[in-house]
């Protein structure tokens, strides 16, 4: 038997991955993934940007580069952070990573010792739970309602828990719940965080995909004490295949992340950074995001209409203001993991909610994604799923 490190004890294949292996068949209507719609990738423009990089600067593009990442791209990101997220920053406070997923790993390595507490919304992003587990923390789930994290509960937990090293949050169109925090909650959150001086990891991959309601400032834009580490990514606004994202934080934190990045990967891919930077110089990224946003908004509406029409009244679900997901809560006697097999028999897939709870004690929820299916399939899939749910009602 192979003698693996202790940190592997709690690491196992996720339900999503096991499920996605099954749902690649064309007949399956899949609400299980969280992928951007591939037909929207700007392939021709990316080809033009790549050609331009190779023609103008091919040798530099293929060479090693600094660990922080391409300066020009970090300038472009700093401009975008101000325009889109109200964050006043500069390239010195930004480091590039291979997806936000790597940022989650780096943050946990920087702040969390084995046995320390990480607080998360209940539910929260499965990929973050797994990334953090490698640092062997204990988790506390902060209760949520339709408006996201409940601040009184957070205050209570912080008042009574020692060694809380990090609070991980997704205030905009959360994965998996689709919920968004109000401005009041954001302000209250920062008040509490400032009181206890805890590090916050604000993950915002979906912020630019807003379908309704007002723009709300990021937590990072309200951070006066350098406590918030902000994660942004090109995955949902351009293409996840590039694995290109960034962390924005205080200089002190970025310098330490730089050391971790040097040890882990040396740097993020030079050619990727140069092509994305060129894409932003040559084309209108905002216009591209608007195209994508409009398609997802439409698909979201199709799913919401279908749920309103077909789902039994016992099911409660999020009507999201943006992002890629909705979250349904079924009566608590229904186990959505068991039900997933019944749904698959009807060629419909979703992700059972259990994996999104770090302490794993919730069986009656499910995450549904609407970004990847055409209208008719969304409607048909929800109709079939509604029947499966009905057959489980008491
Ligand atoms: N955070 C959240 C909340 C996500 O939903 C995802 C992707 N599904 C990630 C991080 C990872 O994204 P990236 O492609 O930038 O690694």
Concatenating the DSSP letter of every residue in 337-384 gives HHHHHHHHHTTEE-EEGGGGSTT----SEEEEE-SSS-HHHHHHHHHH
Residues 272-284: tens digit of each pLDDT: 999 999 999 999 9
Distance 57 CA to ligand 1 centre (A): 30
Residue nearest to atom 5 of ligand 1 (CA): 175
State how far the Cα of 297 lies from the Cα of 213, in Å rounded to an integer: 12
**How confident is the model at residue 66, as a pLDDT?**
97
List strands edge to edge, sheet with 365-369: 316-317, 325-329, 365-369, 351-352
Best CA proximity match to 386, nearest among 315, 331, 326: 315
Closest approach atom of ligand 1 to CA 34: 8
Residue 278 Cα to ligand 1 middle (Å)? 23
Mean pLDDT, each 10-residue run in order, the chain (394 residues): 90 69 83 92 98 98 98 98 96 98 98 98 96 97 97 98 98 98 98 98 98 95 98 98 98 98 97 98 98 97 98 97 98 95 94 92 95 94 98 95
User: Which residues, 6 or more positions from 320, have their beta carbon under 8 angstroms from its beta carbon?
Assistant: 173, 178, 179, 180, 211, 300, 326
| Amino acid 12: pLDDT | 79
Which pLDDT score is estimated for 11? Answer: 85
| Dihedral over Cα of 22, 348, 324, 180: its sign | negative
Question: What whole-number distance in Å separates Cα of residue 92 and Cα of residue 112?
Answer: 24
Q: Are strands 228-233 and 199-203 parallel, antiparallel or unpaired?
A: parallel
pLDDT reported for residue 15:
59
Closest among 377, 137, 80, 109 to 260, alpha carbons compared: 109
In whole angstroms, give the CA distance from residue 343 to residue 90.
49
Distance 205 CA to ligand 1 centre (A): 6
Task: Give the pLDDT of residue 20.
Answer: 66
Ligand 1 centre distance from Cα of residue 108 (Å) = 15
- Residues lining ligand 1, judged by CB closer than 6 Å? 34, 99-101, 125, 127, 170, 175, 203, 205, 233, 235, 240, 245
Which pLDDT value is given to residue 16?
Answer: 60
What's the token pair of residue 130?
Answer: 């797994």
Distance 16 CA to ligand 1 centre (A): 14
Half-sphere exposure of 61 (CA within 13 A, CB side): 18
Distance CA 255, CA 94 (A): 10
Burial of residue 153 (CB within 10 Å: 0-12, 13-18, 19+) is middle
| pTM of the model as a whole | 0.97
Task: Assign 73 to helix, strand or coil.
Answer: helix
| Residue tagged 């293409």 (tokens) | 239
Q: What is the position in ligand 1's atom list of the atom closest to the CA of 174?
A: 3
């Amino acid at each position: 038997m192979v003698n693996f490190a202790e940190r592997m004890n709690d690491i196992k294949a996720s339900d999503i991955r096991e499920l996605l292996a099954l749902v690649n068949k064309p007949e399956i209507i899949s609400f299980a993934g969280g992928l951007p719609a591939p037909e929207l990738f700007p392939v021709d423009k990316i080809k033009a940007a790549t050609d331009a990089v190779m023609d103008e600067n091919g040798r530099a593009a293929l060479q090693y580069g600094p660990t922080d990442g391409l300066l020009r791209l970090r300038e472009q990101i700093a401009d975008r952070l101000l325009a889109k997220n109200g964050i006043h920053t500069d390239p010195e406070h930004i480091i590039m990573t291979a997806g936000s997923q790597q940022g989650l790993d780096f943050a946990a390595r920087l702040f969390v010792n084995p046995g320390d507490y990480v607080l998360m919304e209940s539910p929260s992003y499965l990929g973050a739970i797994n990334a953090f587990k490698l640092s062997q923390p204990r988790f506390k789930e902060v209760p949520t309602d339709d408006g996201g994290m409940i601040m009184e509960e957070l205050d209570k937990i912080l008042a009574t828990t020692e060694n809380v090293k990090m609070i991980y949050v997704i205030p905009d169109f959360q994965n998996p719940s689709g919920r968004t925090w109000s401005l009041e909650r954001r302000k209250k959150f920062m008040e509490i965080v400032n009181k206890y001086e805890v590090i916050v990891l604000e993950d915002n991959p979906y912020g630019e995909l807003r379908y309704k309601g007002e723009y709300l400032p990021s937590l990072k834009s309200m951070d006066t004490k350098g406590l918030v580490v902000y994660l942004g990514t090109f995955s949902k606004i351009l293409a996840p295949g590039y694995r290109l994202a960034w962390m924005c934080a205080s200089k002190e934190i970025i310098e330490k992340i730089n050391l971790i990045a040097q040890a882990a990967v040396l740097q993020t891919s030079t050619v990727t950074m140069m092509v994305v930077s060129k894409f932003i110089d040559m084309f209108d990224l905002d216009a591209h995001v608007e195209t994508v946003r409009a398609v997802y908004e439409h698909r979201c509406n199709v799913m919401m209409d279908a749920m309103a029409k077909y789902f039994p009244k016992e099911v409660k679900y999020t009507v999201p203001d943006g992002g890629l997901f909705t979250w349904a809560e079924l009566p608590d006697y229904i186990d959505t993991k068991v039900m997933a097999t019944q749904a698959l028999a009807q060629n419909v897939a979703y992700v059972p909610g259990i994996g999104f709870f770090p302490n794993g004690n919730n069986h009656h929820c499910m995450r549904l994604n609407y970004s990847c299916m055409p209208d008719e399939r969304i409607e048909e899939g929800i109709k079939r799923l509604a029947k499966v749910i009905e057959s489980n009602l008491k």
